[in-house]
Amino acid sequence: MIGIYGFYIYDSIFLVYSNQIVFAESLGKWKFSFPSYRYRLRGKFLFLPNIFTPYKAIFLQTWPSQEKQFSPSNNNKQKIFLKALLPFRIFSVSTAVLVLLALPFGIFFLAGSNQLLIILLSIYFLNLTLVTNLWLDRKKLNLTNKEIISIAIDVIACPPFAVNIVKKISLKMRSENSPINFASKHLSKKDVIIFNSILLERVNESLDGNESNPALCEKLQKFKKRIGIRL
């Protein structure tokens, strides 16, 4: 039973670089997080999103980057993507109820009974339905065949991994916009000010730590000026 929750939390954790920003979306509301430098692994940093909201979409933005305005086509692609993601949010919540609540209850109180078998069959039926929908909506979700196979193996082989289906899909979404414009588009005015202030601090830290790399410092300085314009 402990293993179920352990696998779920393990799958919830992902690695980010120091120059990446995590954006989370749910019901049209966006939040951002910068990685903590506390836990490092193989040159990256551990990031654990809220384990009680697996239905939130997670996106990564990298800096420094070239400024690109939000074009109508890019904006439309994102709307199509988020709309296609809705059924998988429902899958995520349904799977969480079955795998994280019903299954432990069944193992503890219904061992050897038909009720436990029904719970297990329901979980695998739901996961197979999830994979089928993933294939049908692959174009709207911008997923390659290789990515679909990878996700399918995950959710079929280990049901707790299916709870994070929204995160698995959204993390593969490739953004064509800079983090500054992305934040301006999705965050509230108050959050944009906070975002730009933290981003400026991170850029200054990167400048201090990369003095021996003139090319990178030049790129960071240009990016820093663009942040300054927004403050």
State residue 104's pLDDT score.
Answer: 92
Q: How far apart are CA 196 and CA 227, in angstroms?
A: 6
Residues 176 and 192 in one domain: no
Residues 138 and 220 in one domain: no
Q: What is the pLDDT along the chain (231 residues), one digit of tens a residue?
A: 788 999 999 999 999 999 999 999 998 999 999 998 888 887 899 999 999 999 999 999 999 876 655 565 666 788 899 999 999 999 999 999 999 999 999 988 888 789 999 999 999 999 999 999 999 999 999 999 999 999 999 999 999 999 999 999 999 987 767 899 889 989 999 999 999 999 999 999 999 888 888 888 988 898 888 887 655
Domain region containing 109: 1-187
Residues 53 and 153 in one domain: yes
Q: How far apart are CA 81 and CA 61, in angstroms?
A: 17
Residues 20 and 113 in one domain: yes
State residue 227's pLDDT score.
Answer: 84
Residues 149 and 172 in one domain: yes
State residue 69's pLDDT score.
Answer: 59
Residues 84 and 73 in one domain: yes
Residues 72 and 160 in one domain: yes
Residues 183 and 169 in one domain: yes
Token output for 11 = 């799958």
Of 187, 202, 218, the position where a domain reaches its end is 187
Residues 145 and 166 in one domain: yes
State residue 174's pLDDT score.
Answer: 76
